[in-house]
Structure 1
Amino acid sequence: MNWIILIIAGLFEVGFATCLGKAKETSGTTATLWMVGFFISLSISMFLLYKATQTLPIGTAYAVWTGVGAVGTVLVGILYFKEPAEFWRVFFLFTLIASIIGLKFVSN
């Protein structure tokens, strides 16, 4: 169950990174609302990370949390913000995914 909580925490990390990207593109009230979304996503992400570390090793949990967030943020960047999807970028994205899966298999 804590692995699921950890993955959800990573998805909220994607949420706060996305909100930051949108806040940068806007101004006024819209930017403020994106920043509110950023702080809400950040708070939920940190709380869920804290809950997951109650039973998972902190090093593994943090690595998986940042990895899920990094993979998700890159995918959002490619799909939503029209960032480049160059070969090496996608290649290293898949190596990061493989590393996250590997950590799951070698953790207690």
Structure 2
Amino acid sequence: MAWILLVLAGLFEVGWAIGLKYTEGFTRVGPSVFTIVSMIISVLLLGLALKTLPVGTGYAVWTGIGTVGTALLGIYLLGEPATAARLACIGLIVAGILGLKFAV
């Protein structure tokens, strides 16, 4: 169950990271509310997951999911470059997340 909470926390982290782009410095109400709510949910779910997972593993996986998701959505939604090197680095982060999952 902790891993499910951690993955959900990571997905909400992606939501708030991408949401920040759309807030335009927190001047747009809708995206700002979405971003703030996503931040709160993400941290709450992380806290629940860390009740049973080691903090180093949980935090690394949480930020890894956030990093990979944000990078991929940046490519898809925001037209950021999808170079081979960038995709390979994203793959390395995914490998690290999986390694931490199976090392616990």
TM-score (norm 2): 0.96
- Corresponding residue for 1:96? 93
What fraction of aligned residue pairs are identical, expressed as a percent?
46
Pairing 1:13-92 to 2, within 5 Å after superposition: 13-24=13-24, 31-92=28-89
Q: Is 2:11 the partner of 1:11?
A: yes
Q: Which runs of 5+ in 2 are unaligned?
A: none
Q: CA RMSD in A?
A: 1.3
Deviation at 1:18, TM superposition (A): 1.1
With 32-41 and 64-73 compared, the bigger mean Cα shift is at 32-41
In 2, distance between residues paired with 1:86 and 1:33?
Answer: 32
Deviation at 1:23, TM superposition (A): 1.4
In 2, distance between residues paired with 1:70 and 1:95?
Answer: 12
